[in-house]
Amino acid sequence: MPESMMQPDLQDVATLNGVQAAALARWQERGWPGAEDEAWRFTRLASLDKLSLRPADANLANGTGNLSAHALPAGAHVIRFHNGMLVANSLENMPTGISARLVDEDDLGAIVDLAPANHPVTDLSVAAMTSGLALDAVAGATVTTPIILMFTGNSGSVSTHPVVLLRVAKGAQAVIAEWHSASVGLSAPVMAIDIADNARLDYAKIQQDSATTTHLAATGIKMGEAAVLDGFQLSIGGCLARLEAHVMLAAESADCRLSAIYLGRRNQHHDITTNMTHARGHCQSNQVIRGVLDGAARGVFQGKVHVAQDAQKTDGQQMSRALLLSRKAEADAKPELEIYADDVICAHGATVGELDETQLFYLTSRGISPEVARAMLIAAFLDDAVDMIENADLSALLRPHVTAWMLAQEGSVNA
Amino acid sequence: MTPLLEIKDLHASVGDTPILKGINLTINHGEIHAIMGPNGSGKSTMSYVLSGRDGYEVTGGDVLMNGQSILEMEADERARAGMFLAFQYPVELPGVAGMSFLRAAVNARRLDKGEDEIDQLEFVKMVRAKAKDLSIDDEMLKRAVNVGFSGGEKKRYEILQMALLEPQLAVLDETDSGLDVDALKIVSEGVNMLRDANRSMLVITHYQRLLNHIVPDYVHILANGKIRRSGGKELALEVEESGYAGIDDAA
Ligand SMILES: Nc1ncnc2c1ncn2[C@@H]1O[C@H](COP(=O)(O)OP(=O)(O)O)[C@@H](O)[C@H]1O
Ligand SMILES: [Mg+2]
């Protein structure tokens, strides 16, 4: 086992076999990314050195955690994970057209195929899986009831490794949100998503873990022919968070929108890393990333768009903008285009800026307080991204978090 | 009666450069004063110093509103106390919806006075009525603040804000610049409707033309950071004829 930090105690899971044993072997071989790992250049895990964590077990499944005060969409079906453990009775009464059950060995194989490969979170969380859930939207079903995967937790000494397989079969439609509101040592969810031909997934992730939680997510998405993903990630909580999503556009005419907002203050560190692979032609991808950083927060956006030689007529767009509210805040962006086809439209850009003094003066000269003026300009800045969400329930779920963040006091707004 | 505004030997700098070099001006309630002067004489600087913009440092003198110094007040506090600046170059706010902007401004003032926030429907009605007087249509009201507005539309939108905020002192900075004859008429009529015994105005202009429409009680010539001459409305005509050349020495 390499010498690396934050090494969860894996004694209990060391007797695995099959897919999990293979994942454990890979994890033990590589461990956490080291200082030389380019993919983790902006997000170092060294500060977590001192944590000694153990994967959560069934003893911690009791208790239900607190549901956040923010309203859930009317009629939403909530599937609960507490300290990484699935709350079994939340699988009862699933909406028609979608089934939920615990993963089996075949599912685990599918998860490893879909999730980011050679990735420490994929390998560790599959090996140390606290609960595994398989969700299947059956072919042709249109499930408009939002399904909320609610992750709570209250044990700072554990790591949580929920693993979810989500398959939207041919022609099916589903609306799924991941809502992380846990206080644990490490939250390391794996999401493996397969959107089959002509299927559509509306997906949102809200990362709102406690200020002491490290959140490292590995999300893998595969899209079939003419499949649609309308996806959004909001990273707002945690002390250190990396939301890494890899998308494989595996057949023609798939349409992927995967936008994100990160909001940081104090010493928070948010990392949005995406890997968009256009393997076939005539696909579109569009990513609108907005970050707002206050205090001494740091934001990272790494976005790779890979266009394979066969992927003619690709339209790949990516735009990242960060707004710094404090002189101690810092934003890094690493957009990368790797294009091997010749007939493509691809654009990417990254900017880092501050609030415009002239705009602020215009607002305050009308009697609007500087605090409200700032909030108005920040909201305007973020709207480009928030407006990307097409599903009204997911939009309504997400917007209050953005508003609440702006209204929360920050001692160092002007620092 | 205490004058509405007293500017006393006002000196101000931008960075290390002194721009205003000892301005004295008293404006009583209900009066309209015009400030004329060549480009670069310090007219916009004076408007920013009065309205409290950061970066415009007062290095001497005082500004009193209703007998109280306002120099320690922030821009938003001055605005809520009755100061209004119509910008020479109104600022575009992409993504900020016009109606929410107008409502935020009106409510900021109401809350300050201990009143409730304005009723949404009542507000929309009020804006529509005042917008109509300025030939501002609904489509323009729906846009983001000043985004995609023509030069004339921006100026009319400034006057709409003034009409909604009902200031005690309105500083209009080159509200005539970039306007054709028709737009100038609309804007001037809008301003004239707001003339009131309790409202004073400081009308900044480069050209005499505007003062045919908004007839001032007094005219002051600003050159090189100082008021060099003051007089009645005839002074504007005189300057129009002879130009600003040589005015520096006339003080
Ligand atoms: N932000 C600024 N930084 C540096 N110099 C400025 C700034 N604003 C104005 N000035 C200078 O101050 C002087 C007066 O400018 P201004 O007040 O805009 O004049 P006016 O409005 O009469 O044309 C000019 O010489 C101008 O170059
Ligand atoms: Mg000017």
Is A367–B101 a contact, with Cβ atoms under 8 angstroms apart? no
Vertex A354: Cα angle to A180 and A325 (nearest 5)? 50
Q: Which amino acid is at A195?
A: I
Spatial contact of A169 and A138, defined as CB atoms under 8 Å apart: yes
* B75-119 pLDDT tens trace: 999 999 999 999 999 999 999 999 999 999 999 999 999 999 999
A261, A290, A354, A361: best to mutate for the B interface, most B CBs within 10 A:
A361
Spatial contact of B173 and B86, defined as CB atoms under 8 Å apart: yes
Which of these, A145, A147, A253, A280, lies nearest to A197 by C-alpha position? A253
Query: Would you state the structure tokens that stand for residue B223, as one six-digit string?
Result: 């050159």
- Residue B251, pLDDT score: 43
Give Cβ neighbours of residue A13 (< 8 Å, ≥ 6 apart). Answer: A20, A24, A55, A127, A128
A351, A359, A364: best to mutate for the B interface, most B CBs within 10 A:
A364
- Residue A14, pLDDT score: 60
Nearest Cβ partner of B105 from A361, A366, A380? A366
Query: Would you state the structure tokens that stand for residue A89, as one six-digit string?
Result: 């009775």
3-class secondary structure, A185: coil
Taken in order of first residue, the domains within chain B and their CATH numbers are 5-242 (3.40.50.300)
Which of these, A358, A15, A256, lies nearest to B44 by C-alpha position? A358
Which ligand approaches the C-alpha of residue B41 most closely? 1
Average pLDDT of chain A is 91
Query: Would you state the structure tokens that stand for residue A262, as one six-digit string?
Result: 């990160």
User: From CA B39, how far away is CA B91, in angstroms rounded?
Assistant: 20
Domain boundaries in chain A?
3-407
Give the minimum alpha-carbon distance from A31 to chain B in angstroms, rounded to a whole number: 45
Task: Please indicate whether residue B47, judged by its CB atom, sits closer than 6 Å to ligand 1.
Answer: no
This prediction has a pTM of 0.90
> φ and ψ at B78, to 5 degrees?
-65, -40
> φ and ψ at B144, to 5 degrees?
-70, 155
Query: Would you state the structure tokens that stand for residue A168, as one six-digit string?
Result: 């939207």
What is the band of B239 on the pLDDT scale with cuts at 50, 70, 90?
A: confident
3-class secondary structure, A22: helix
**β B5-14/B17-27 pair status:** antiparallel
Q: What is the ipTM of this complex?
A: 0.97
User: From CA A54, how far away is CA B205, in angstroms rounded?
Assistant: 73
Q: Which amino acid is at A40?
A: W
Residue A287 CA, distance from chain mean position: 13
- Residue A180, pLDDT score: 97
Q: Can you list the residues of chain A whose pLDDT is less than 50?
A: 1-5, 69, 411-415
Task: Please indicate whether residue B19, judged by its CB atom, sits closer than 6 Å to ligand 1.
Answer: yes
- Residue A62, pLDDT score: 62
Task: Please indicate whether residue B44, judged by its CB atom, sits closer than 6 Å to ligand 1.
Answer: yes
Spatial contact of A290 and A318, defined as CB atoms under 8 Å apart: no
Q: Which amino acid is at A59?
A: N
What is the band of B12 on the pLDDT scale with cuts at 50, 70, 90?
A: very high
Neighbouring C-alpha atoms within 13 Å toward the C-beta of A135: 34
Spatial contact of A166 and A192, defined as CB atoms under 8 Å apart: yes
Which of these, A124, A135, A204, lies nearest to A159 by C-alpha position? A124
User: Which residues crowd ion ligand 2, with CB under 5 Å?
Assistant: B 43-44, 88
Can you tell me which atom of ligand 1 is nearest the CA of B222? 22
Vertex B9: Cα angle to B4 and B15 (nearest 5)? 110
Longest dimension (CA), chain A: 68
Vertex B71: Cα angle to B66 and B77 (nearest 5)? 75
- Residue A52, pLDDT score: 74
Q: Pick the more confident residue, A50 or B142.
A: B142
CA distances, A275 to each of A125, A220, A316 (Å): 20, 9, 12
Question: Ligand 1 centroid to B43 CA: how many Å?
Answer: 8
